[in-house]
Structure 1
Amino acid sequence: MNSPKSVRKSVTMNDVAKAAGVHQTTVSLAFRHHPGIPEATREKILAVAQRLDYRPNPLVAALMGQLRNRKRKGTGEVIAYLTNHPPTFPWRMEAAFYAMYEGAVNRAAEMGFSLQEFDLGTGNMNATRMHDILLARGIRGIVIAPLPAKQKVIDLDVRQFAVVSLGVSLQSPQVERIANDHHQSMQVAFRECLRRGYRRIGFLIGRGLSDRLEGRWLSAFLHEQTLLPAGQRLRPLLLDPFMLNECKSHLASWLPRTKPDVVLAPFGGWQKSWRDALMQLSGNPDLGVVNLTLPPSPGIFSGIQQNARNLGQIAIERVVARLQHNELGPLVLIQNTMLHGEWHDGETLPDRAGMTK
């Protein structure tokens, strides 16, 4: 008679504690990268756990995360909202940025947390000092706000924090990024133009912005152009910088050469000035205008609502989830959580389907 196969005995946290010569509570805190555990002790415990092939029970880990979160709820534990804009750029004046912040503040309060801004761009602040301040205040959750132009890296040690970022520009540290799905937004806007009878669809964007978005708008636009007859395909105009007063000469050349019947661009809160200039320089009072980055109050403009407030809410939910599951530190690979944009029907893209052949 064959003997039953041996069953692998699960290694427990207590086994790790005995092998490392520490208390079980110390092991638990080390696994969660608690700031009260010295780095040398944590590394020793992790090495022992790896040698013993310790594998945490996912059901127990999830339950403990829920219990810890219940203890947090209502205590007002702080989540850091990390900004890094220079004093010359008051980010709160940017409607979309402030809407993200408001969404994050409200969702944090609903979940029993409070959100507090920490500014890397002021005075003599640096990443090392910010790291120490956050740890000293017992803060373990961070939302990194959209970065200023041309910045892709924050030299912050995030190994002891649950971190997500807003926008797709952050390349390092590698964390989960919460952003609008720019590719989908361009497809929605482009196809809405076609549905309304527009056939010569133009696109303006700043080179720097396109690079920060990893070409998502541009690639979607070029793809949609391939579906049109060759005679209707327009080359996009990439501007550097994307500032109206500094690129009027380029517009004055591009508009009569390409003759678009509608122009798509991320006009943001400067949509009226851009529309007035485009109509004047093109000599076409019926030129359609689509804003890919509508402000929360879009007025008469047609375009894409990126749902900035929802992005802020999702960022908080993801940070809290990472805290619950002890998912601290950078990721091996960047993860993107993309939120679809929504079409807003304004007055700057009137229906031409009945007037076109």
Structure 2
Amino acid sequence: MNLPPANPSAPPARRPTLKDVARETGYHITTISLALRGHASIPTETRQRIEEVAQRMGYQRNPVFYALSRFRQEGRVRAPAPRIAYLENYGAGSGNSRPPYQQSIYEGARRQAELLGYQLEVLAVGEDDHDARSLSHHLRDNHITGVVIGSFQPGFAEIALNWADYAVCKIHSRHTEPNATVVANDQLREVRMAFRRLAALGYRRIGLAVGRADEDASGHRHTAGYLMEQAAVPADRQIPPLIFPYNTDAGMLGGMITRWVRRHQIDAVICNWTSVREIIEAAGLHVPQDVACACLCLCDAAPEGLAGVRPHLHLVGERAVSIVVTQLKSGQPGLPEVPSSIYVQSTWQDGPSAPPRN
């Protein structure tokens, strides 16, 4: 799904400044600044004329520098904290709740924004939420120039805003334009870590089960890590990954995993669903007697006793906000000429679902 451009024909434009308004009205820049702050020293008629010209030109006060100037003048910031938009597409308009792993990312982003003096405003986009036009209007009307794209679920090919106007960073969301700096946990390294730890525990036939949606969102980094490890084991122990389709529910997945485990005589399953143990047992296999399992996403909501990888998702959110704030403070909005990816490393956690094997 694409969010169509709010105005596809409009080229990126430079933001009007106080100097531009002064040049247009003929007043000194100090007069312009005082008028736009509603200072009593400026006659009402003059102030109204300046405000009309500024509005017509599209001038917007920079909330970051406004807050800083208030701090210099008064010793404390009385102006509202400047806002950073946090975009999500999990379907809030349809009443859906935020998935647990996304909640961890969001909490990290929110805390970091507050620490740096900003307010994080959650904006939902999608069929029942903001489209590109309403999103663009909301950002403009509320003087929001910093945007975090918060781990979009697949289905959105593009968020069509005039990105030259915004400081932006993506969390995961490799399937979604714009091509901005990405912060993520390192799925490739996580799969390799899980595979090697299970092998060290004595498992010999290790398989990866992951959803197509998660593969698309991560740039196929799960299977990339898995195939790198598979290449190092004997051919008779190489197992094809189970890539289950979009919209697979727990019941369907249980049947798929059971057939796959039996067909390939798998003794340990790596999966990124936190409910993997319950899904396997509901399908008739016993964990760990019949097959061990390890989860790639042990977030706070993960069941106890589950072995696997614990990603530091709150740090992912923190890093994304820090990148946007750096862009805002340096006055360098827009997309980077050469985007980069920043990976937050994870840690392994042993658990009864994958005990040492004799």
TM-score (norm 1): 0.75
Amino acid in structure 2 at the alignment position of 1:192:
R
- Of stretches 145-154 and 245-254 in structure 1, the one that deviates more from structure 2 is 245-254
Q: Counterpart of 2:294 in 1: which secondary structure?
A: strand
Q: Does the CA-based 8 Å contact 1:204-1:237 persist in structure 2? A: yes
Q: 1:191 to 1:124 in 2, by over 3 A?
A: closer
Q: Does 1:244 align with 2:254?
A: no
Residue matched to 1:134: 139
Q: Distance in 2 between matches of 1:344 and 1:162?
A: 36
Q: CA shift at 1:101, angstroms?
A: 1.1
Residues 177-326 of structure 1: pairs in structure 2 closer than 5 A? 177-241=182-246, 242-268=248-274, 270-277=275-282, 280-281=284-285, 285-298=289-302, 299-326=304-331
Q: 1:141 to 1:74 in 2, by over 3 A?
A: farther
Residues 1-12 of structure 1: pairs in structure 2 closer than 5 A? none
Residue matched to 2:101: 96
Amino acid in structure 2 at the alignment position of 1:287:
V
Q: 1:24 to 1:255 in 2, by over 3 A?
A: farther
5+ residue gaps in structure 2? 1-18, 31-53, 60-64
Provide Cα deviations, 1:15-36, integer angstroms capped at 9, x if missing partner: xx99xx899979xxxxxxxxx6
Q: Counterpart of 1:147 in 2: which secondary structure?
A: coil
Provide Cα deviations, 1:221-272, integer angstroms capped at 9, x if missing partner: 011011112222111111113433224443343221111110001113x234
Residue matched to 2:352: 347
Q: Does the CA-based 8 Å contact 2:158-2:176 persist in structure 1? A: yes
Q: 1:123 to 1:288 in 2, by over 3 A?
A: closer
Q: CA shift at 1:142, angstroms?
A: 1.1
Provide Cα deviations, 1:93-122, integer angstroms capped at 9, x if missing partner: x11111111111111111111111122236
Amino acid in structure 1 at the alignment position of 2:289:
P
Q: 1:230 to 1:125 in 2, by over 3 A?
A: closer
Q: Does the CA-based 8 Å contact 1:174-1:334 persist in structure 2? A: yes
Q: 1:166 to 1:24 in 2, by over 3 A?
A: farther
5+ residue gaps in structure 1? 1-16, 27-35, 42-63
Q: 1:282 to 1:123 in 2, by over 3 A?
A: closer
Q: 1:253 to 1:159 in 2, by over 3 A?
A: same
* Match for residue 113 of structure 1 among 104, 109, 118: 118
Provide Cα deviations, 1:138-184, integer angstroms capped at 9, x if missing partner: 11111111212332321222221111121133431121111111111
Q: 1:239 to 1:70 in 2, by over 3 A?
A: farther
TM-score (norm 2): 0.74
Aligned residues: 304
- Of stretches 320-329 and 147-156 in structure 1, the one that deviates more from structure 2 is 147-156
Q: Distance in 2 between matches of 1:150 and 1:108?
A: 28
Q: Counterpart of 2:165 in 1: which secondary structure?
A: coil
Q: Does the CA-based 8 Å contact 1:91-1:98 persist in structure 2? A: no
* Match for residue 81 of structure 1 among 81, 86, 89: 86
Q: 1:284 to 1:177 in 2, by over 3 A?
A: closer
Q: Counterpart of 2:107 in 1: which secondary structure?
A: helix
Q: Counterpart of 1:223 in 2: which secondary structure?
A: helix
Q: Distance in 1 between matches of 2:259 and 2:122?
A: 44
